[in-house]
Amino acid sequence: MTQLNTPYPSTAYLTGFLRSRGVSAVQEDLALALVLRLLSPDGLRAVAACVEALPRKKHSPAVQAFAAQQARYLATIAPVIAFLQGRDATLAHRIVGRHYLPEGPRFESLDVYVDDGSGDPLGWAFGSLGIQDRARHLATLYLNDLADVLRDAVDPRFEFVRYAESLAGSQPTFDPLADALAAPPNLVDDTLEALTLEAVARHAPTVVLLSAPFPGAVYAAFRIAQTIKARHPHITTVLGGGFVNTELRELAEPRVFDHIDYVTLDTGERPLLALLEHLQGRRGRQRLVRTFVREAGSDGETATVRYINMAEPDVAFAEVGTPTWDGLPLDKYLSLLDMLNPMHRLWSDGRWNKLTVAHGCYWKKCSFCDVSLDYISRYEGASATVLADRIDAIVRETGQTGFHFVDEAAPPKALKALAQELIARDTGISWWGNIRFEKSFSPELCQLLADSGCIAISGGLEVASDRLLTLMKKGVSVDQVARVTRAFSDAGILVHAYLMYGFPTQTVQDTVDALEYVRQLFENGCIQSGFFHRFACTVHSPVGQNPQDYGVTLQPLPPGGFARNDIAFHDPTGVDHDALGGALKKAIYNYMHGIGLEEDVRSWFPFKVPKTTVAKSRIERALRSAV
């Protein structure tokens, strides 16, 4: 599971590339198919049977609401899905009336909004004419209620985005995943198995590639592979993706290969070409590229995992071809509206064509980042002409003009050249993407990007502390971020800030000051959205490789041959960052809704914290200095 509003781009990239090299390749999005089958009248009848089999004492509030309103759920699920797919816009009028949808516990979140006296607690967000968005938000709450029912009555691991991620993420041993795969299948497992077999019957593949970008996609990937191996053992299964590239680089667990034949690392083009040639008998086993295989031990019984990496050049980024969404049901993705913030909604609302401006990161110095890995360290770009040609081809294929540039950090020079090319061609797209808040983004450049179709950007402010920003080699300062984000905002471009807490040597004072900086950025219209992430030390980052430079001591990795990426550490400051994290997330959630910006930041913490040392006019002074 990744997201329901748009396809994850890896299959589109690899399908387009393989076809450009003469390989017959098709793609399926079984995550979307799984959700659509579960959230259908027949799917909900099956869920209802699970609810009936559940002892009443185990009925959660969500399950109780579902059982009490089962008939209404069965009657409304198909129309709601059609509405969220953009196929029945007029249903919005019934949804916003609040008498059509059954309302479970998720609707209680509406009670937190202050009524302005009109009797409409959502009036501040949607006004009197925002009927479509209001209905989409209510329909999203409705789906979230059903997700809670699936979690509480069918599978406790169920989530739309992070399904069973605890089985894989930072999990050194394969045991939990092996146990889950050996357990009797539940309704979700049976549904995924049926969808897998249907897809195999449609396409009759000889090789199946499974992309697992996040821990929340791993269990399902293994379930799909398990089904294929049980029913079609002649089909070769291959696992790759972001999760593999970060967490399985030291893979030594033979049981993985009970389900998967090959595991490949990093950008997939070259490893897949080598593997396909190997399977066709055109090259020896020793000439695989960045690929794990299982081999029998010398005693003929003990299996071992071997990593084979014949040195061959990667396919240049300019030569990987144009992604294709051919075969994916673009009219069936669900545009959700889970948060009432105009920037934050972009991740779940709208069907975006995902594209990369450049491979890797041109900065590749941040000490929290996996700078030693291929997806960061190997920086390659493509000309503005090539990128614009790809954009034109994708618009012709999909009929949709929204693009999300999914770079680690899109380079300013490349964006400037692309913007000029898009304007010259009068391309007319809307786009957003991730950048670094560096001074190259002048007001003039920001306006140029807006003229080319840029509607939003996201970037890392991280710790919002000049001392810590220097320590993490971020290459920006708080004042610089304020000036750059204001330049984007003044150009009409929405800004999201990635934030971090718990970085080595970060004190309580640092954390309180960081929140004050963030408050001032919101107050001064520099950013419109943000999110606080908990810092995690990885073995491939500068902190993980040189902990002494950051004042921390690493703890030994636990034994195991599966996921080995996150590494625990001892910070002599002894700060309880988890206790602080809840306050940070609560504060920024409210800031994104325009609430509490005038309050002392200490009021968000449930315990005593020091007064901020940041002047109340710090961001204002930084903005004035730019003028």
Residue-wise pLDDT for 551-570, tens only, equals 999 999 889 999 989 999 99
Q: Does the pLDDT value for residue 88 go beyond 70?
A: yes
In one letter, which amino acid is 115?
A: D
Same domain? For 295 and 363 the reply is no
Residue 330 lies in a domain: no
Helix (H, G, I), strand (E, B) or coil at 308: strand
Q: Does the pLDDT value for residue 77 go beyond 80?
A: yes
Q: Quick one: pLDDT at residue 122?
A: 78
Residue 493 lies in a domain: yes
Asked if 313 and 271 touch (Cβ cutoff 8 Å), the reply is no
Q: Quick one: pLDDT at residue 115?
A: 58
**Long-range contacts, stretch 92-97, CB < 8 angstroms, 24+ apart:** 92/131, 92/132, 92/134, 92/135, 92/136, 93/131, 93/135, 95/134, 95/135, 95/138, 95/139, 96/131, 96/134, 96/135, 96/138
Q: Does the pLDDT value for residue 143 go beyond 80?
A: yes
Asked if 501 and 584 touch (Cβ cutoff 8 Å), the reply is yes
- For residue 472, the enclosing domain spans 339-626
Q: Quick one: pLDDT at residue 162?
A: 81
Q: How far is CA 148 from the centre of its chain?
A: 20
Same domain? For 138 and 177 the reply is no
Which contiguous run of DSSP H or E holds residue 455?
strand 454-462
Same domain? For 477 and 366 the reply is yes
The tally of domains found in the chain comes to 3
CA distances from 596 to 570, 590, 599, 603, 604 (A): 34, 7, 5, 9, 9
Asked if 29 and 2 touch (Cβ cutoff 8 Å), the reply is no
In this structure, what are the phi and psi dihedrals at residue 612, rounded to the nearest 5 degrees? -65, 145
Calpha distance 382→357 (Å, rounded): 7
Average pLDDT of the residues in 132-154: 96
What is the number of other CB atoms lying within 10 angstroms of the CB of residue 98? 12
Sign of CA dihedral 309, 312, 313, 319: negative
Q: Quick one: pLDDT at residue 285?
A: 67
Calpha distance 246→174 (Å, rounded): 16
Asked if 448 and 422 touch (Cβ cutoff 8 Å), the reply is no
Q: At what angle do helices 70-84 and 41-52 cross, to 10 degrees?
A: 150
156-160, 260-264, 456-460, range with the lowest pLDDT: 156-160
Q: Quick one: pLDDT at residue 206?
A: 97
Same domain? For 348 and 464 the reply is yes
Name the average pLDDT for the chain: 94
CA distances from 620 to 483, 529, 615 (A): 10, 19, 10
Query: Which residue, 473, 360, 347, is CA-closest to 409?
Result: 360
Determine the Cα angle at 270 with ends 10 and 436, to 5°.
50
Q: Please state whether the predicted TM-score (pTM) of the whole model is above 0.75.
A: yes
Calpha distance 38→32 (Å, rounded): 10
Determine the Cα angle at 464 with ends 538 and 612, to 5°.
125
Is the backbone of residue 3 left (phi > 0), alpha (psi -120 to 50) or beta?
Answer: beta
Residue 396 lies in a domain: yes
DSSP 119-131: S-TTHHHHTTT-H
pLDDT in tens, 276-335: 999 998 777 678 999 999 998 766 568 899 999 998 999 999 999 999 999 999 999 999
Q: Does the pLDDT value for residue 85 go beyond 70?
A: yes
Same domain? For 538 and 424 the reply is yes
Higher pLDDT, 298 or 210: 210
Which contiguous run of DSSP H or E holds residue 619?
helix 618-626
Query: Which residue, 474, 514, 502, is CA-closest to 614?
Result: 514
Is the backbone of residue 278 left (phi > 0), alpha (psi -120 to 50) or beta?
Answer: alpha
Same domain? For 289 and 147 the reply is no
Average pLDDT of the residues in 195-216: 96
Q: Quick one: pLDDT at residue 73?
A: 98
Same domain? For 281 and 425 the reply is no
40-49, 295-304, 360-369, 462-471, range with the lowest pLDDT: 295-304
Q: Quick one: pLDDT at residue 489?
A: 97
Same domain? For 302 and 246 the reply is yes
139-143, 280-284, 369-373, range with the lowest pLDDT: 280-284
91-95, 123-127, 575-579, range with the lowest pLDDT: 123-127
The order of strands in the sheet holding 303-308 is 207-211, 236-240, 262-264, 291-296, 303-308
Q: Does the pLDDT value for residue 117 go beyond 70?
A: no
Same domain? For 380 and 514 the reply is yes
Calpha distance 67→69 (Å, rounded): 6
Q: Quick one: pLDDT at residue 125?
A: 75
Helix (H, G, I), strand (E, B) or coil at 230: helix
Calpha distance 317→387 (Å, rounded): 11
**Distance between terminal CA atoms of the chain?**
46
Same domain? For 182 and 75 the reply is no
Q: Quick one: pLDDT at residue 534?
A: 94
Same domain? For 470 and 616 the reply is yes
- DSSP H helical ranges for 119-166: 123-126, 131-153
Asked if 452 and 418 touch (Cβ cutoff 8 Å), the reply is yes
Q: Quick one: pLDDT at residue 593?
A: 92
pLDDT in tens, 423-444: 999 999 999 999 999 999 999 9
**Long-range contacts, stretch 188-193, CB < 8 angstroms, 24+ apart:** 188/34, 188/38, 188/150, 188/154, 188/155, 188/158, 189/155, 189/223, 191/34, 191/37, 191/38, 191/43, 192/30, 192/34, 192/220, 192/223, 192/224, 192/227, 193/223, 193/227
Calpha distance 573→260 (Å, rounded): 44
Q: Quick one: pLDDT at residue 515?
A: 97
Calpha distance 21→424 (Å, rounded): 31
Q: Quick one: pLDDT at residue 37?
A: 98
DSSP label of 559: S
Calpha distance 501→511 (Å, rounded): 7
In this structure, what are the phi and psi dihedrals at residue 416, rounded to the nearest 5 degrees? -60, -45
DSSP label of 611: P
Same domain? For 415 and 560 the reply is yes
- DSSP H helical ranges for 61-102: 61-68, 70-84, 92-96
Calpha distance 61→87 (Å, rounded): 31
> Percent of the chain having pLDDT more than 70?
97
Q: Does the pLDDT value for residue 3 go beyond 90?
A: no
Q: Quick one: pLDDT at residue 287?
A: 87
Residues 6+ apart with CB under 8 A from 570: 552, 553, 554, 555
Q: Quick one: pLDDT at residue 114?
A: 58
Q: Does the pLDDT value for residue 113 go beyond 80?
A: no
User: Which of 153, 179, 213 is the C-terminal boundary of a domain?
Assistant: 153
Residue 160 lies in a domain: no
Residue 328 lies in a domain: no
Q: Quick one: pLDDT at residue 618?
A: 95
In this structure, what are the phi and psi dihedrals at residue 460, rounded to the nearest 5 degrees? -95, 110
Q: Does the pLDDT value for residue 105 go beyond 90?
A: yes
Q: What is the CATH number of the domain that holds 416?
A: 3.20.20
Residues in the chain: 627
Confidence class for position 116, pLDDT limits 50, 70, 90: low
Query: Which residue, 428, 400, 405, is CA-closest to 415?
Result: 405
Higher pLDDT, 373 or 301: 373
pLDDT in tens, 500-525: 999 999 999 999 999 999 999 999 99
* Burial grade of 620 (CB within 10 A; 0-12, 13-18, 19 or more): middle
